[in-house]
Structure 1
Amino acid sequence: MAKIRFLCLIAVFFGVCALFLLWQLRDPKALILSLRLTKLGALVVVGAAVGAATVVFQTITANRLLTPGIVGFDALYIFLQTMLVMTLGGTGYATLPQLGQFGAEIVTMVVTALLLFGLMLRRGTEDMLRLILTGVILGVLLRGLAGLAQRLLDPSEFAIVQGASFASFGGVDKTQLWIAMVLLAVTLLFAMRLSRQLDIVALGRTTARSLGQEYDRVVLASLALVALLVAVSTALVGPVTFLGLLAASLAYAFVPTWRHIYLIPAAALIGASILIFGQFVFERLLGLQSTLAVIVEFAGGLLFLALVLRRSPR
């Protein structure tokens, strides 16, 4: 049953891709297809990365209410953008080499995450709760510092920061996109190789270790993969906090299995399909721009509240 449903997800994914590419395709077809392919690639990379990262993160934290953004990735990205604009000014920020900035953002977010994971989990993965709480506190701190710095910017510089603080799928650099696609493919490959071990980790620390699983090693490797996936997607288009919660929740519901060999790619396919279909509706049918990320965040926020209220004690 899980395999059949997974095949259905693949069919839906390719269907929405074809719809996005071919809907009302007119001359000059080559140019339009090139532009649409670039945007489609960005949607796929972000949706797949965030969806897969969320499933892995929820498994190692044993909590389906959490997303990787809880440890402060989004706040760190906004803080970096604010500091760059504040230091270099609007003109200096605009003249930064895009590829260098893209690489620096990925490295900074991954290194910061690994330092946090290493410091918080140096005594073992039983400190996972402390890691999450520390991430939440750091996220609040970075958002506060970014907000304070933004108040010191002039209106034109503040507008630049605001523009960089929301996910945008238009104008993605092709070189950055290719790099992101390669990193996504490699990271997902490693995640799939860990899928059987994640099946055991999902049973809990005590049970996993009694079965001979090197629990701490798998958790640390999984956190590194999550950090890279989220860093790549965030550096490419900006933060999309609740997309992963949507993708992971739908993956658990549509593919009712505990096997991560299906759950991880299912969440990746669902995340990508949500973004592609949403962009198609807003851009092709409604003629709207720059609204998809807001709607996704709104829907994800409602889902988060629903999950919290459903689990609340009566």
Structure 2
Amino acid sequence: MSTLDPAAAPPTPSAATRHARAPVAYAVLVCLLGALFLAELSLGSVAIPVGAVADMLLSGSPGPSVWRDIVMGFRLPRALNALCSGAALGVAGLLLQTLFRNPLADPFVLGIVHGARLGSAVLVAFAGLAGNAFLLRFGLMGDVGLAVASVAGSAAVLALLAALSRHVGTVTLLIVGLMLGYLCVGLISVLMHFIDETQARAFKAWDDASFAGATWQQLRILLPGIGLGLLACAFLVKPLNGLLLGERYAASMGIPVARVKRLALFATAWLSGLVSAFCGPVAFLGLVAAQVARALMRSADHRRLLPAAGLLGAVLGLAADLVLHLPWSRHVFHLNAVIGLVGAPLALYLLYRTRSLHQAE
């Protein structure tokens, strides 16, 4: 098996040790997720006691009106967005690493997020030509249109990558993804010349990744959409395990390889596009979550990896957003900067490790 295969790992512990490790890891991640979620609702420029937050969520206790407005109007939508979008990107990163057999695969690294940006830019440019109030006039349909355009853009880039992956190596595929990302960025710049200054500023504000911008109306689209995407991924667990043994072996086991790959690619485009539509281009989160999940589970079994990647993505999303909204006195951080502080060193380490393994062979 190739050393670039994400399933290729150092010798793993015994089966009994792995079985014992998974429940403990899940329990720790769930507790950490709960703690971060409460911290998201409690901490900020206005500190709110955790007990008061818990009362608002569990018993519907109104509390001071200012606290309730802050928690229910601003912090709860942001926390739900960070949790669900982080989980979606973690699972998307895991699927891409399995499908392309590349430990560095990620929606941002492969240019899929930039494809979603291009789809959104096309919609904004069309709205500019049709009239400034085109999207606002349709209310909810404006958000649906943004989600559809973003998913379509990510699906287009992913389909092109899938076609090219048959003819290039795993490392070359990263370069191809990078070039496709730059191509999308260039096309976005061209499209920006065809819209007015107001819309350009709105697009630029959206283009700065953040979990804080989604409204309750948008979450009514985003959360069910992510739930459907994660549910579809859960049904792909056994076929994905079969693909790790090779496509010919999987086909001999009765797995419809082509259909499974198409469904997995669509699920990845769906999750990446939805998150990008309402959060902007979030970088590296899928890469970090998937790799940490592999290190934590020490297994290639997607029955363990899929929930672990989702939980880790949610934890990383909440943690990064919490760092942004702590009451810093002088500096304002950006989401991708916080995630990049972890993601970029990890990507460099994986590139170094991959190169070292090739030289050792």
Partner in structure 1 of residue 99 of structure 2: 60
Paired residues of 2:119 and 2:152 also in contact (CA < 8 A)? no
For residue 12 of structure 1, what is the amino acid of its counterpart?
L
- Displacement of 1:153 in angstroms is 7.1
Question: Is 1:100–2:147 an aligned residue pair?
Answer: no
Flag the 1:135–1:101 CA change in 2: closer, same or farther, 3 A.
farther
RMSD: 3.2
User: Are 1:73 and 1:109, in contact at CA under 8 Å, matched by a contact in 2?
Assistant: no
Decide whether the 8 Å contact of 1:25 with 1:32 is kept in 2. Answer: no
Matched, 1:294 2:337: yes
3-state DSSP of counterpart to 1:68: coil
Distance change (3 Å), C-alpha of 1:217 and 1:47: same
Deviation track 1:234-286 (CA, whole Å, cap 9, x = no partner) reads: 11111112111111111111122222122112111111111212222331243
1:111, 1:86 → 2: CA distance? 16
Distance in 2, Cα, partners of 1:282 & 1:122: 39
Q: Assess, with a 3 A threshold, how the Cα gap between structure 1 residues 93 and 165 changes in structure 2: closer, same or farther.
A: farther
Give the whole-Å Cα distance in 2 for the aligned partners of 1:263 and 1:279: 24
Q: Tell which deviates more after alignment, 272-281 or 154-163.
A: 154-163
CA contact (8 A) 2:112 2:158 kept: no
After the TM superposition, which residues 78-93 of structure 1 pair with which residues of structure 2 at under 5 Å, given as runs? 78-83=117-122
The Cα shift of 1:37 comes to 0.8
1:156 deviates by 6.0
User: 1:114 Cα shift?
Assistant: 4.7
- Amino acid paired to 1:161: F
Counterpart Cα distance in 1 of 2:132 and 2:113:
19
| Sequence identity (%) | 26
- By relative contact order (CA 8 Å, sep 6+), the higher-ranking structure is 1
Match of 1:37 in 2: 76
The amino acid of 1:311's aligned partner reads T
Is the Cα–Cα contact under 8 Å of residues 2 and 256 in structure 1 kept in the other structure?
no
C-alpha contact 2:115 2:153 (8 A) present in aligned 1: no
Give the letter for the 2:242 counterpart. I
2: distance between equivalents of 1:153 and 1:119? 28
Q: Which moved more, 1:193-202 or 1:68-77?
A: 68-77
Match of 2:242 among 200, 206, 212: 200
Determine the structure 2 residue equivalent to 1:186: 228
Which runs of structure 2 are paired with 1:159-174 in the superposition (5 Å)? 159-174=201-216
Q: Which residue in the other structure is 2:13 paired with? A: none
Give the 3 Å change call, closer, same or farther, for CA 306–135 of structure 1 in structure 2: closer
| Conservation of the 8 A alpha-carbon contact between 1:56 and 1:226 | yes
The more displaced of 29-38 and 222-231 is 29-38
**What is the deviation of 1:172?**
1.4
8 Å CA contact 2:119–2:154 kept in 1: the answer is: no
Question: Shift of the alpha carbon at 1:231?
Answer: 0.9
Residue number among 84, 87, 111 corresponding to 1:72 in the alignment? 111
Q: 1:80 to 1:227 in 2, by over 3 A?
A: closer
Secondary structure of the 1:102 match is helix
1:58 is displaced (CA, Å) by 0.9
Query: Residues 264-283 of structure 1 correspond to what in structure 2 (within 5 A)?
Result: 264-283=306-325
How far is 1:294 from its partner?
Answer: 2.2
C-alpha distance in 2, partners of 1:167/1:114? Answer: 20
The Cα offsets for residues 48-68 of structure 1, whole Å up to 9 and x where unpaired, read as 110011111111111111112
User: Which amino acid counterpart does residue 265 of structure 2 have in structure 1?
Assistant: L
Say whether the 8 Å CA contact 1:251–1:263 is kept in structure 2: yes
Residue equivalent to 2:151 = 110
Q: How big is the shift at 1:32?
A: 1.9
Deviations, residues 144-193 of structure 1 (Å, cap 9, x unaligned):
22234446777766543332222122231112112211111122112112
Task: Give the 3-state SS of the residue equivalent to 2:326 in structure 1.
Answer: helix
Where in structure 2 are there 5+ consecutive unaligned residues? 1-20, 50-63
Q: Is 1:222 the counterpart of 2:242 in the alignment?
A: no
Q: Deviations over 1:19-49 (max 9, x none)?
A: 2223431642321220211110111121011
TM-score (norm 1): 0.85
Q: Relative to 1, partners in 2 of residues 1:109 and 1:128: Cα closer, same or farther, differing over 3 Å?
A: farther
Q: What letter matches 2:85 in structure 1?
A: V
Q: Give the length in aligned residue pairs.
A: 313
Q: Which runs of 5+ in 1 are unaligned?
A: none
- Give the counterpart of 1:21 among 38, 41, 61: 41
The match for 2:292 is 250
What SS does the corresponding residue of 1:312 show, helix, strand or coil? helix
The answer to whether the Cα contact below 8 Å between 1:167 and 1:237 also exists between their aligned partners in 2 is yes
TM-score normalized with structure 2 length: 0.75
C-alpha distance 188-138 of structure 1, shift in aligned 2 (>3 A): same
Q: 1:210 to 1:161 in 2, by over 3 A?
A: same
